[in-house]
Chains A and B, each alone.
Chain A
Amino acid sequence: MLTLAEVERHAKVAIVAVDGERGFRRRLLELGLCPGTAVAITNIAPLGDPLEIEVRGGRLSIRKDEAAQIRVRR
């Protein structure tokens, strides 16, 4: 299964599900990363981590291992 951490920059994907412990995933869902939402990686920090993502017209930064908990489809 594809995760957000494996997606190349600027590719538009849709969120399928957010995995992980309950408090962790609830935080991401509440920021609007719910299933069906379009998301794209727009940038990678100069030191390789974290990632800058575009979701619902805003920019958030999340760490790679967090992005690996977000399952996506093309």
Chain B
Amino acid sequence: MPRTTLDVPHAPGYAAPPAMRHLLGIEGWRRDELESLLDRAKAHLPGAPDTTHLLRGKVVANLFFEDSTRTRTSFHMAAKGLGASVLNWTHTGSSVSKGETLLDTARNIEATGPVAIVMRHRSSGAPHLVAKHVKCAVINAGDGTHEHPSQALLDAFTLRQRWGSLDGRTVLIVGDVLHSRVARSNLHCLKALGAQVVMCGPPTLMPPGLESLGAEVTYNLDAVLPRADAVMCLRVQLERQEQAFLPSTREYARLFGLNAAREERMKAGAVVMHPGPINRGVELAPAVADGARSVILEQVSNGVAVRRAILEVCTA
């Protein structure tokens, strides 16, 4: 039998190193790069010295092909805080409905002269395509089910505010990991910063290979809950029921919802997080979302500081 184990080299492209100019994803970022960005974000917290000179006279383009409130307004405020003007482009009522391609839209926006394009798109990898064809910085504000890097950075920032360091901490991510860009970015970010990541959800919503990306996977929330220093609940979309990922949101809430009874079994000092928007009563009981452990609104306010730091670093 001839040798069949000998490997013919594969095409290149696997785990390409990140370009600092763009922020397409957290994957591939080194710990020191992440930490320096997070340290920089401290200088953008409320009460810090004025930073409106940093991007004065510059334009930041918000290119949102998908609905968003929190991320779009957060990037908007971040750009304003650096003194930039903001071009706000949304898909509704745009040339996209006339059949314009993504690249044409992006190139036309680029022609107006922004220093950065902040982009959200329903297709995974869409910002990567744009980044290959424009000269300004591209910042991924969420692409399909791939990554949402600014969310992971603001989550890490929030946890660092509490703990100082993430080393040795355990973060439990609960829910629809399969469809979650937040989960992927957080996995890469938290791991790089020294935390352990446990992912928990129904088997139909856990994609293959999570272990090889560094996560511990479990289907039993109650068993892992007491170990967690932070519990991050993911939004469960109601249409998953129709696609047979779940029998019902009721059953989901019973098995994976963070309710008051479960909250009581959490570690002292452990926090509850959610990237929003919340399905109250499904993945998170209202009393927990608004309770003492919740840092959900801190996440939102930290978002602006972190995004200022992102814009600053990417346009430097």
- Are A and B a genuine interacting pair, yes or no? no
A contact set with B: CB distance below 8 Å: none
